[in-house]
Amino acid sequence: MKLLSIDLFSGVGGLSEGLRQAGFDTKLAFEIDELASKAYSINHKKVKVITKDIRDVDIAEVRKLLNNKTIHLLAGCPPCQGFSSIRRLNRAEPVEDERNSLINEYVSFIEGLMPYTFMMENVPGLSLSPDFHKAIKELKKIGYEHIVYKVVNVKDYGVPQNRKRLVMVGSRLGPIQIAKPINKKVTVREKIANLPKPEESSDYFHKIFPKHTHRIQELIRDIPHDGGSRKDLGASRQLKCHQKENVGFNDVYGRLRWDDYSTTITGGCLNPSKGRFLHPEQDRCISAREASLLQSFPIDYKFPSDAPISKIALMIGNALPPEFCKIQVEEIKSHLYFYLNG
């Protein structure tokens, strides 16, 4: 049985890579950002990418593109930045952001296409939203009686990264569940220790990492290897912006630990002032290739070479980890085979 899928809010294709590895045939992807869409197309040449605002997409036209076939899985991650812990600074209330309502567009696609199953991944804070619970009610009304959601950590699914995600799956076929953890610890060492030094690499994306002033480079050099922090340097060597109380995050200018999970790879992952993104022993920030490997992308995954470093970091940090997605959709694949193959 050929399993058909579409990817909403696809970004650079982390979810689609997981779908591909799990055996799904993704027919369409939707992404508003031109550079992210370009990255997607570089890596998923057989998928038709629609680069426009999802709110301007005519679902009737989508049905035509699918030849009116019923898709097996509609998957996606509607941007809901107002519910992220970084934007909320750990407050309970979400931050006002027009993208918070994009979950309603996700529901509209499900209503218009009626896939057998759907999967949504998002930030844990989305469960605080009335729109999220309204969406569940709407979906149950149209036949998706079996819906479950749960906050999980990608580190429990073979990804070398501490990153919590809200996963919601639903089916109109029968009871469905979220994939159970595989309990296989993958560390920073396993993912990036065997890479050559950037200056010795032929990989363009391994050469992408920030350069610093002499003062900052000296500070980085003196931070202890394998998990050290700026706080190890003593109060006198803290940057002025870090000397005030309750300013900044404790992990900035921190090193990753070889035999542990990475910190969450965010859109600031190529800037050590944004988090614990220093290499465990080399005196530099992690490279774009290392960041993508910690997100569990294949080593040959590509990004637009003409994109600025800040944009590459954002594309990598905003992506869904493919290995995590693969395991989640393999669970859905088993569900589909059970109900559709008898």
Residues with catalytic roles = 80
Q: Are 15 and 121 in contact (CB under 8 A)?
A: yes
Question: What six digits make up the tokens of 68?
Answer: 């009116």
CA–CA–CA angle 17, 266, 147 (5° rounding): 55
Residue corresponding to tokens 């996700």:
106
The residue among 319, 259, 258 whose CA lies nearest residue 288 is 319
Return d(Cα 241, Cα 253) in angstroms, integer.
Answer: 12
The residue among 58, 263, 314, 81 whose CA lies nearest residue 160 is 263
Dihedral in degrees, nearest 10, Cα atoms 26, 30, 35, 41: 20
Return d(Cα 59, Cα 82) in angstroms, integer.
Answer: 26
What end-to-end distance do the CA atoms of the chain give, in Å? Answer: 12
CA distances from 99 to 55, 96, 104 (A): 11, 9, 10
Element (H, E) at 14: helix 14-21
The residue among 250, 220, 259 whose CA lies nearest residue 237 is 220
Q: Which amino acid is at 23?
A: G
| 150 strand-pairing partners | 167
Question: What six digits make up the tokens of 3?
Answer: 């399993």
Question: What six digits make up the tokens of 151?
Answer: 């906050």
